[in-house]
Structure 1
Amino acid sequence: MSIKVSVVVPVYNPGKYIEDCIASLLRQSLPDDEYEAIFVDDGSTDETPERLDRLAAEYPHMHVVHQEGSGWSGKPRNVGIEAAKGEFIQFVDNDDWLGDEALERMYDYGVRNDADVIVGKMAGKGRPVPLELFRRNRPHANVENAPLIDSLTPHKMFRKEFLDKHNLRFKEGRRRLEDHVFVAEAYLRAENVAVLSDYLCYYHVKREDASNAGFQRFDPVGYFTNLREALDVVEELTEPGPLRDRLFRRWLRNEMVERLRGQRLLSLPEDYRQELFDEIHKVVVERFGPGVAAGLQPTQQIVAGLISANRLAEVEEFARWEAGIKPFGSLESLGWENGRLAIGFTAEYRSGGEPLTFRADGEKDVLIPPLSRTGLSAIALLGADTSAPLDKSKVDLVVRERATAAEFFQPVELTREKLAVEGGESVESEASGESRKGRFRQVLRATSLVDPLSAANGAPLDEGIWDVLIRISSCGWTKETRLGSVRTDQAGHGRRAAVVGSPARTVLPYWTDPHGNLSLDVDQKTNRLAYEFAGLAPGDVTVTTSPGRLSAVLPFHVQGECEAALKLTDVASGRSVEVAATLTGRTTGDADLRADLPSGEPAEGHWRMDLTLPSLGAGKPVQLPLALEVPAGGEAVVKRLAAAAADLAAKGPARRGPGSRPAKPTFLRRAVRKIRRTLKK
């Protein structure tokens, strides 16, 4: 059978970090005889060469090429291209890894859409990745209809015939941005680029030792000399005009303006700051016409204008102001609606701990940067746009899986409100068009319905802990913050677990320790579910013996009816009775638990109760904070666990000697401690 995909991995002294990469390649769902991995060892001096030789000896589809060190990734990738036998080539760095189904899904998607390049959804562990590009699947993308230019790393799948046809190869030697040159040309020459967003294909990882090549401080002269080569490719393959300006804008924004903003600039030594600024100024003046900066957001335009005017002092002044601008969110409401978690929140930017304010200038809203008169005059002379396009401000709600950093946008309904800073009265609603006077702040009011069964771009959320974040985009700032630490009482009262879907799954919204942010525990990844029952009272549970039935009202949101399991354990003997149970949703938002008990059960004794809820994996039993006391010939009495333990201790065996006390059963001692800890929380 022919090889579908060749994975090319340039390798240099990765140490332990290569193990995750190797493991992910061995886990691929594509059959072993349909893909290969080619590790190109670029003169490693650690134990990696021997590790790769052992791998290749054990697995026929794993190959290794050893070569003298070339100094960078370009030559190893080119060697891998030449050695590849696959229809497509996927590039992977030696400290990153792939999703288990990445090769199969990307290959099938690329073939189905006749793509020359396939871009799989990425996640960043400690490093940024493109976000807007992966909002949805894009089977027929190009640089005009999709933000492809935001993703210029080589970690994509390329049709080998396409690479050979255009002699697309990486520039070699110790240099920067060879991937920008390669990928930009691939985008511009490709007949079709397919973007796969409904499966997490590629995991970018920042090493604990931060020794990834991309995280090292660079020589500005060499860096921007290499950057000009990427600009050359765009000039060669596009005509002057809006498209070229938009593509150039990516480098102006990401590689120049963003390096000179906020804390990113202020954290640099002053001499390096000056050297970096000088090289950026040269490129801006040499290569970019007015149309490039004109498409930037207002705050980015200000920095770009000051760069053009060669005014580093004002750039630093502006950076000090921007460094104090932070996103802020307040959780206003939380609750389940027909199996979806409704999250209501407000969001805004704050400066120095106070709401960021704007000023009305005729029909325009404008920024109020606290620059000197000289700086403001320079901006005015340059014609940089200081207007604040607040009608385009937006906020996204994102769920991010903690272990993998996989993240997905959730649907948001948004209204924008302008509030005067004096007294907070509304100065203009979106509908009224009333005149505006004075300074004001903008508050974004939003609601989002998170459906655990489709929140991952149409797929269910995987088992795990999903952190909830908001991401505010306004005036050229895009910043994110956790949601939940500031919340209303209403939001707190609406938080409860839910059982959703078929097969049923358990989803628990909870507050993180110690900050109190909102996260979702999907399928009992944590043991927090027991805390939900801490408030159960004896009156919430009833037991009848004719017929034998146990009923309870649980603080759960359940759609319709689903199955559960109940286990009763006699404390004295350890004998257990396991029975099937059902959970049925109530209009109050709670759920009825019902279990039919076998004849004669529970027998005389003290019984603990453990509930197992539905889960895609193996459901974990959760101990209820109540116990059944069944007297001889009498009806069962439900007591709080602590009270039941005290009663049982009081009725224990006779004392064995002077001063001795009846021993509590070990189970009850542990249970009481657990419940007390829970109640304290």
Structure 2
Amino acid sequence: MLPLPTAQNTPVTNPSASRVSVVVIGYNDAAHVADAVRSALAQGPVVHEVIAVDDCSTDGSADVLTSLAAADRRVRVIRRETNSGGCGTPRNDGIDAAAAPYVMFLDSDDVLPSGAADALLAASLRHDAEVASGLCVRRELPSGREVPWQPELYTKARLVARPELRTRLVHDTLCVNKLYRTAFLREHGIRFPEGRFIYEDFVFTARVLAAAPRIALVPDTVYVWHVRRAAAKLSISLDRAGIANWQARMEAHRQSVEILRDSRGTGGKRLARAARAKFVDHGLRMYTRELTARGKEYQREWWALTRAYLATFDAADLDAAPAPGRVIARVVLASEEPRDLTRLKQVAARPARLAPPYPTASDATPVWAADLPQVTLEHLLVRPMRLLPVAVDGALRPGAGGTRLTLRLRELYGRVADAGPATVDVELVHRQSGRPGLRRTAAFGAERPGETWVATVLLDLGSLDDGVWDVRLRLHFDDGTTRDTTAHAVAGPGLLRRTVVPSRRRGVLLVQPYATQAGNLSVRLAPGVRGVAGVAKRRLTRLTRSLRGSGSR
């Protein structure tokens, strides 16, 4: 069993008050479901029962749950006679069966950290809140790297008296990092969509917000979402290779917006607009980053479906979204066929980059393209330098004397030249641990005055540990402003290929510069023969998974 993180500043509730039902759902997950159930039981006396809903598994999950129920009387097992095809129906079974005044949800391949139920229940009781919500972390396996989900919502404990007072709540569409008053769900008829419905959390969360609950937010980590990218069967959120996934996401979002818009009062309309802006900033950008990796047929279908859905948005919906997603949406709406996919992918990156060309309309207004003058970019003329989508190209050339990183900063409608490029801080960050490695600073020199500036850095990669290192940049300008960004990985002769170089520390070192899904420059390091074998094995695993995913569609 994996070690569980501990909730910070966990409040202590009355140990005699067993007030929480934890609903654990699973299908053919015998390898992980015991860890999930045990993490719920480990919450202590606050948990009245763990309702394990087995969605007609065929892999021995039922036997695992039977053993757990025999060992702890708090475990109740519900075995469905037919598979529901989704997550919503078994969760609804759990709501119906819950005997405690509060209910939580847990997926069979995830875990609750110690103290999670106590932290949520204490917040709910303190504020008389129908819902309590805390921080979820995405734990990448097998590395163990953790990334917080929507951390902006959980910087401190607070009460949200009505959802429309904090519209960012629509960004946290998860149901699993929350505790709900059972009577509240039943009184308002709040349930998950039944059957095969992907992204059922979207609709459920919209129904919760539409019922206008008091919501207590806590900064504690209350849920660990396990991300297994190398699994034989990818989770719904990771299995995006087919167009059906995008269709399901749009349908779930469409229903969510309707639910919010039709709720009582003006608050629902504010939440609906926020939900549409979130779709543009999150979902649209995420899938746009992946378009160049899809086939032509997928790209055409995705473009047509997305264009039709965005046509239902009001202009104010797009205006409410941050600039990168808004620009992508307007390009899609303005063109009947897919176009500029590589350039759009860079805009969709985080942070965003706008690659050339940089055309203008007849009145000197910046525009996306000469043949799309209706997609204007006038915000680039007034946006603070620290937020501009400046484009930096990066070329990494390993060699015996060190690895040379060449960075090329491009002009952006006169803003870069006006600010005056001065220096760049280059930092390599270990992707799995988030640990910073070496850091170097170099000065920019004008390559073509008013057009491009170049900085060159020599890196001793042999001083770094094995694994993937992301290249992060901080640009400094003469006017005192800075901009944190990444480098776009340049492809060309001798670039983005594996190279073995001598290393004083390792003997030899395998260096592989590559472009991430978003086109960012990263580098994979591995020592000697063992490193070569490990890289080859990982490539074979990815290729096998890709072929399996393509065959299933």
TM-score class, shorter: 0.5 to 0.7
Residue 223 (structure 2) pairs with residue 202 (structure 1): yes
Decide whether the 8 Å contact of 1:303 with 1:315 is kept in 2: no
**Given the superposition, is the C-alpha separation of residues 140 and 241 from structure 1 closer, same or farther in structure 2, using an over 3 Å criterion?**
closer
Deviation at 1:488, TM superposition (A): 6.4
| Aligned match of 2:165 | 144
- d(CA) in 2 for partners of 1:166 and 1:514? 53
Provide the alpha-carbon RMSD of the alignment.
4.0
The one-letter code of the counterpart of 1:135 is T
Decide whether the 8 Å contact of 1:113 with 1:140 is kept in 2: no
| Aligned match of 2:328 | 303
Deviation at 1:241, TM superposition (A): 5.8
The residue matched to 1:206 in structure 2 has which SS?
Answer: strand
Deviation at 1:202, TM superposition (A): 0.4
- d(CA) in 2 for partners of 1:326 and 1:440? 24
**Given the superposition, is the C-alpha separation of residues 272 and 387 from structure 1 closer, same or farther in structure 2, using an over 3 Å criterion?**
farther
- d(CA) in 2 for partners of 1:19 and 1:47? 12
| Aligned match of 2:273 | 245
- d(CA) in 2 for partners of 1:390 and 1:442? 17
- Counting only pairs closer than 5 Å after superposition, residues 90-239 of structure 1 correspond to structure 2 as 90-126=104-140, 129-140=149-160, 142-145=163-166, 147-155=168-176, 156-197=178-219, 199-207=220-228, 208-209=230-231, 211-217=234-240, 219=244, 220-237=246-263, 239=266
**Given the superposition, is the C-alpha separation of residues 221 and 124 from structure 1 closer, same or farther in structure 2, using an over 3 Å criterion?**
closer
- Counting only pairs closer than 5 Å after superposition, residues 446-465 of structure 1 correspond to structure 2 as none
- d(CA) in 1 for partners of 2:424 and 2:167? 27
The one-letter code of the counterpart of 2:194 is E
- d(CA) in 2 for partners of 1:276 and 1:128? 29
- Counting only pairs closer than 5 Å after superposition, residues 164-563 of structure 1 correspond to structure 2 as 164-197=186-219, 199-207=220-228, 208-209=230-231, 211-217=234-240, 219=244, 220-237=246-263, 239=266, 242-260=270-288, 262=289, 264-286=290-312, 288-322=313-347, 372-375=369-372, 377-380=373-376, 385-387=379-381, 389-390=383-384, 393=387, 483-487=436-440, 513-514=465-466
**Given the superposition, is the C-alpha separation of residues 230 and 146 from structure 1 closer, same or farther in structure 2, using an over 3 Å criterion?**
closer
- Counting only pairs closer than 5 Å after superposition, residues 625-644 of structure 1 correspond to structure 2 as none
Decide whether the 8 Å contact of 2:131 with 2:215 is kept in 1: yes
- d(CA) in 2 for partners of 1:301 and 1:153? 24
The residue matched to 1:97 in structure 2 has which SS?
Answer: coil
Decide whether the 8 Å contact of 1:39 with 1:64 is kept in 2: yes
The residue matched to 2:339 in structure 1 has which SS?
Answer: helix
- d(CA) in 1 for partners of 2:468 and 2:90? 47
**Given the superposition, is the C-alpha separation of residues 245 and 320 from structure 1 closer, same or farther in structure 2, using an over 3 Å criterion?**
closer
| Aligned match of 1:24 | 39
Decide whether the 8 Å contact of 1:143 with 1:188 is kept in 2: no
Decide whether the 8 Å contact of 1:153 with 1:180 is kept in 2: yes
The residue matched to 1:213 in structure 2 has which SS?
Answer: coil
Residue 54 (structure 2) pairs with residue 41 (structure 1): yes
Query: What TM-score comes out, normalization by structure 1 length?
Result: 0.51
Give a deviation string over 1:296-323, Cα, whole Å, max 9, x none.
2222221111122244433514325447
**Given the superposition, is the C-alpha separation of residues 387 and 443 from structure 1 closer, same or farther in structure 2, using an over 3 Å criterion?**
farther
**Given the superposition, is the C-alpha separation of residues 170 and 391 from structure 1 closer, same or farther in structure 2, using an over 3 Å criterion?**
same
Structure with more contact order per residue of length (Cα contacts < 8 Å, sep ≥ 6): 2
**Given the superposition, is the C-alpha separation of residues 388 and 516 from structure 1 closer, same or farther in structure 2, using an over 3 Å criterion?**
farther
- Counting only pairs closer than 5 Å after superposition, residues 601-616 of structure 1 correspond to structure 2 as none
Decide whether the 8 Å contact of 2:343 with 2:354 is kept in 1: no
Give a deviation string over 1:398-426, Cα, whole Å, max 9, x none.
xxxxxxxxxxxxxxxxxxxxxx989xxxx
Decide whether the 8 Å contact of 1:307 with 1:315 is kept in 2: no
Deviation at 1:160, TM superposition (A): 0.5
- d(CA) in 2 for partners of 1:482 and 1:351? 28
- d(CA) in 2 for partners of 1:515 and 1:73? 35
**Given the superposition, is the C-alpha separation of residues 441 and 85 from structure 1 closer, same or farther in structure 2, using an over 3 Å criterion?**
farther
Decide whether the 8 Å contact of 1:184 with 1:234 is kept in 2: yes
Query: What TM-score comes out, normalization by structure 2 length?
Result: 0.62
Decide whether the 8 Å contact of 1:358 with 1:440 is kept in 2: no
The one-letter code of the counterpart of 1:120 is G
Decide whether the 8 Å contact of 1:305 with 1:384 is kept in 2: no
Decide whether the 8 Å contact of 1:299 with 1:386 is kept in 2: no
| Aligned match of 2:76 | 63
Decide whether the 8 Å contact of 2:292 with 2:342 is kept in 1: no
Deviation at 1:108, TM superposition (A): 0.8
Deviation at 1:439, TM superposition (A): 7.4
**Given the superposition, is the C-alpha separation of residues 316 and 488 from structure 1 closer, same or farther in structure 2, using an over 3 Å criterion?**
closer
Decide whether the 8 Å contact of 1:180 with 1:230 is kept in 2: yes
The one-letter code of the counterpart of 1:148 is L
The one-letter code of the counterpart of 1:76 is P
- d(CA) in 1 for partners of 2:422 and 2:105? 44
Structure number with greater Rg is: 1
Give a deviation string over 1:360-385, Cα, whole Å, max 9, x none.
99xx9x98x8x64224x2413xx785
The residue matched to 1:8 in structure 2 has which SS?
Answer: strand
**Paired residues, number:** 395
- d(CA) in 2 for partners of 1:392 and 1:162? 45
The one-letter code of the counterpart of 1:269 is G
The one-letter code of the counterpart of 2:78 is V
The residue matched to 2:117 in structure 1 has which SS?
Answer: helix
Decide whether the 8 Å contact of 2:69 with 2:75 is kept in 1: yes
Decide whether the 8 Å contact of 1:185 with 1:234 is kept in 2: yes
- d(CA) in 2 for partners of 1:216 and 1:147? 26
**Given the superposition, is the C-alpha separation of residues 358 and 110 from structure 1 closer, same or farther in structure 2, using an over 3 Å criterion?**
farther
The one-letter code of the counterpart of 2:156 is R
| Aligned match of 1:72 | 86
Give a deviation string over 1:542-571, Cα, whole Å, max 9, x none.
xxxxxxxxxxxxxxxxxxxxxxxxxxxxxx
Higher mean C-alpha displacement, 159-168 vs 235-244: 235-244
**Given the superposition, is the C-alpha separation of residues 147 and 357 from structure 1 closer, same or farther in structure 2, using an over 3 Å criterion?**
farther
- d(CA) in 2 for partners of 1:292 and 1:103? 37
Identity %: 23
The one-letter code of the counterpart of 2:304 is D
Deviation at 1:515, TM superposition (A): 7.6
- d(CA) in 1 for partners of 2:326 and 2:422? 21
Deviation at 1:146, TM superposition (A): 5.2
The residue matched to 2:149 in structure 1 has which SS?
Answer: coil
Deviation at 1:13, TM superposition (A): 0.8
Q: Which runs of 5+ in 1 are unaligned?
A: 328-348, 395-419, 429-435, 446-466, 471-479, 490-510, 519-681
